[in-house]
Each structure stands twice: as C-alpha cells, then as structure tokens.
C-alpha cells in the first residue's frame, strides 16, 4: 500500500537522483533568504515571544529587533568571509 501523495512531483530518493555539477566543477550551491522586518515600537505585535510586559514592551520588541540591529550584520560578515577566495 502506498501513501497518498500531493501529485506535484514524483517521490525521488536522494540515492537515485543524478549528480549535478555547478560551474567550475563545484558540488554545492547555497541560497540564503533573509527576512528583514520592521516593527512599530509600542503598538502591539503578534505573537508575543515572552509574556506580555507593560508598554513599552522592551522584552518582546528586543527579541524581534535584535536581528535587524545585530544578527543581520553578523550573518553578512560571516558570508563575506566565505567569499574571500584567491
């Protein structure tokens, strides 16, 4: 008995798939999608990541804002280090 499928594409175990080569014989391609959002301070957001605090809700706002102020720059720096090839 087979499982119900979505019908969009056939099941293909990775061991049966053909090998693909990228330019210059590279074997790995990576796509990084970054979701950068902005949030209005003190106007309520959903869902709360911590129990609600009185406004201004610094705890929940800082959870969301860290990525824009710190995290994205750390990520970009790490990605830049990976591209410095000679």
- Residue 15 above 50 pLDDT? yes
* Residues ≥6 apart with Cβ < 8 Å to 64: 37, 39, 45, 49
Tell me what percent of the residues of the chain surpass a pLDDT of 70: 73
Tell me the per-residue pLDDT of 28-49, one tens digit each, with 9 for 90 and over.
777 888 777 666 666 655 555 6
* CA dist 28 → 21, 24, 57, 79, 86 (Å): 8, 11, 43, 15, 18
Cα 81 versus chain centre, distance = 19
What is the per-residue pLDDT for 69? 81
Using an 8 Å Cβ cutoff, are 67 and 61 in contact?
no
Extents of the domains making up the chain: 14-31+41-83
Q: Look at phi and psi of residue 41 and say left if phi exceeds 0, alpha if psi is from -120 to 50, else beta.
A: beta
Give residue 86's pLDDT band: very low, low, confident or very high (50, 70, 90): very low
């Amino acid at each position: 008995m087979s499982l119900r499928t979505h019908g969009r594409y056939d099941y293909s175990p990775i061991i049966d798939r053909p090998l693909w080569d990228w330019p210059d014989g590279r074997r790995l391609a990576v796509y990084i999608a970054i979701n950068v959002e902005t949030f209005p301070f003190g106007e309520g957001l959903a869902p709360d990541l911590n129990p609600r605090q009185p406004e201004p809700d610094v705890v929940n706002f800082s959870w969301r804002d860290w990525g824009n102020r710190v995290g994205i720059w750390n990520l970009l720096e790490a990605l830049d280090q990976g591209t410095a090839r000679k």
